[in-house]
Copies of this chain bind each other. A is one copy, B any other.
Amino acid sequence: MHEEKIALVDSQIRAVQRAISERSIENVYFVACGGSLATLYPSKYIIERETAAVNTNTYTAAEFFNDPPMRLGEKSLVILNSQSGGTAETVAAAHLCAERGAMTAAFTTAPDSAIEKAVDFIMYYYDNPADPYPAVLTIFPEVYKLTYALLDVWNHTSRLPEVNEAMLRLQSTFDEACTAYLPAARTFASRYAHEPIIYTTAAGLNSCVGYVLTNCLLMESLWMHSSPLHAGEFFHGAFEAVDDTTAVFALLGLGNTRPLEERAVKFLQRKTKKLTVLDAAALDLSAYPEWLRANTAALVLNRLAAMYCDEMSYVLGHPISSRRYMGVEKY
């Protein structure tokens, strides 16, 4: 059953790959909202650093729709993401892209939804908090697959099979990491569940993990105050707000921007005792090709951050799925 789904997704990604290999693309725009935008961010980040063939950027869908880039047109590939399939801003953006002659491809969990009807290519992912699908079928790993499918075309490489293999191993990496970090997650949860604010810090590719942690987990799911601080920006303003009463959740990745993240951690270790650090250097990523380890580390950090917040939801007696506005009232 899962094998069938994986085969379907891979064929959907190959369809996008074939289409762009037959078309001259100059710009790749990633357009979505909230967590659905954050999960596209790795693709922007990796493409920008691994090919000179295209330009790329990310946009929250409402801004893209109301004030689109002038270059949006026939040489644009627009990648969208709507978990529910009906996110109004994202669907509106998809229609605008079609009017402008751009090629569109969207991720969604909802077959035959409004977003599927609005785009040229659809890619399904699977999301069920009650009975989780294997990691390979969730959004981040699929975004990685698409990213390398596109890069293979633009860079004349053939790395996609290796990425597909690697993403299949992700579930066991997640399971091992979650087992190893469960005590730390419980300590975090019991220590910081009642903090007035918990900042997150990250840099580079991990910025999207920090954003998911702040926006989707701490704010949306736990109704706590937070802000996603970029570790490079931190020393140019935000750090002045930190004192020894300030809780911070810092991410340390394995990519080229690790020195920025380390600098923030070193400073925070001196300034606050309420510091939680998730360091990817402690993870066993030997099952992955060396060139893919830094990017894979971000996915594991993201999985662990979610577990830390699950543990916090138990301490608070506040189910992680609780919403007071989203889907509850009109706004």
Contact surface of A with B, Cβ cutoff 8 Å: 27, 33-37, 48-52, 55, 57, 60-63, 66-71, 73, 87, 89, 196-197, 203-204, 214-216, 218-221, 223-228, 230, 232-233, 235-241, 243, 246, 255-257, 259-260, 263, 266-267, 271, 323-326, 331
- Give the nearest-CB partner of A90 in chain B: B236
- Give the nearest-CB partner of A328 in chain B: B240
Q: Is the CB of A34 within 8 A of B240?
A: no
Q: Is the CB of A241 within 8 A of B256?
A: no
Give the complex CA separation of A257 and B267 in angstroms.
Answer: 37
- Give the nearest-CB partner of A205 in chain B: B67
Q: Is the CB of B27 within 8 A of A233?
A: no
Known: A63-B257, A225-B225, A259-B66. A239 touches B89 (CB 8 A): no
Give the complex CA separation of A323 and B238 in angstroms.
Answer: 11
- Give the nearest-CB partner of A155 in chain B: B70
Q: Is the CB of B63 within 8 A of A232?
A: yes
Contacts of A230 in B (CB 8 A): 60, 63
Contacts of A260 in B (CB 8 A): 62-63, 66
- Number of identical protomers: 2
Contacts of A232 in B (CB 8 A): 33, 60-63, 89
Contacts of A68 in B (CB 8 A): 49
Contacts of A69 in B (CB 8 A): 48-49
Contacts of A196 in B (CB 8 A): 196-197, 225
Selected contact of A236 from candidates B33, B50, B227, CB within 8 Å:
B33
Q: Is the CB of B60 within 8 A of A233?
A: yes
Contacts of A51 in B (CB 8 A): 70
Q: Is the CB of A52 within 8 A of B70?
A: yes
In the complex, how many angstroms separate the beta carbon of A81 from the nearest chain B beta carbon? 11
Give the complex CA separation of A230 and B223 in angstroms.
Answer: 17
Give the complex CA separation of A249 and B243 in angstroms.
Answer: 23
In the complex, how many angstroms separate the beta carbon of A309 from the nearest chain B beta carbon? 13
